[in-house]
Copies of this chain bind each other. A is one copy, B any other.
């Protein structure tokens, strides 16, 4: 890679000091009252040499990299990928770049990512927290590193976040099932201490209670992310193919829903006749299923955009915290 053109090269060509070149190329010719004629020459030379400023040098000087770090559970998950795209676009609009990393829901990995990205001097983080990551927030706060949480947050820790009103979203979903007349309503959620998932569970129970429906303990099931397929098989078997199957099922995430639908497909169960379904998040799968699936859609674009804007505010030194619990949309199809 032949050495790139630097300020010095331009300075040399025009016959001035690098300072002048810097002033002109940064639009400070007026304030620093650079001579009209020389300014022109400098601009001309910059163009001729196709000068591209070295951002690394700029960063070293300014301490700013104009880069945001994005940490998600897994960039290969459509939810993360979609949000990543939105964040990328929003960041680009503000002339920021995005470096990303996947934590695999693993606090250890998330730590590594944070450390690595910090050493690369990114200006701030957008993070979808892993479980047991309170420490990390604490660290970021102590070191005054700007960050915004998305999707998940810890209610007891003070921090900026842009998330879903998970309770309301899930409540609305379960209520929808109830109003459709289903009485035996089951739910499958991840086995997880994450607040946003627990909120969905809380909403399920609350809704059943509010509408005076009984809730057999066995109707609520938890699956482990790492054994997703097996756990789903096992629980669905019990929920749907036992003596007294549930009539309706609330599947609390896109991955859970996809697995659930696959099971239903394989066993040739009829939706909504044998079991009504309501899913969470979005996936092509919902539309492609023989019976399009009613689901709870998160406002992805809003989440992404708000997160970037909140983060940039923090980076710019405006310390007001942003705490958004956005509303989901119930997309009614024909699965219940």
Q: Indicate the member of A76, A92, A292 with the most B CB atoms within 10 Å.
A: A76
Of A29-37, A47-55, A210-218, A235-243, the one touching chain B: A47-55
Q: Does A16 contact B (CB under 8 A)?
A: no
B121–A54 touching, CB < 8 Å: yes
Residues on B with C-beta less than 8 A from A290 are 265, 289-290
Report whether B65 and A76 are in contact in the complex, using a CB–CB cutoff of 8 Å. no
CB neighbours of A56 from chain B (8 A)? 56, 59-60, 65, 120-121
Contacting residue for A143 out of B2, B53, B89, B120, CB 8 A:
B2
Q: A56-B56, A119-B55 are in contact. Are A284 and B265 (CB under 8 A)?
A: no
A283 within 8 Å of B by Cβ? Answer: yes
Question: Is A202 in the interface zone, CB < 8 Å from B?
Answer: no
Q: Which of A39-68 contact B (CB under 8 A)?
A: 52-57, 59-60, 65, 67
Extra 5 A-B pairs, beta carbons < 8 Å, given A52-B115, A98-B100: A57-B60, A74-B85, A77-B81, A258-B288, A261-B288
Most B C-beta atoms less than 10 A away, residue of A1, A81, A89, A288: A288
Q: Which of A133-190 contact B (CB under 8 A)?
A: 143-145
What chain B residues lie within 8 Å of A262 (beta carbons)? 284, 287-288
A116 within 8 A of B: yes
A142 vs B312: C-alpha distance when bound (angstroms) = 37
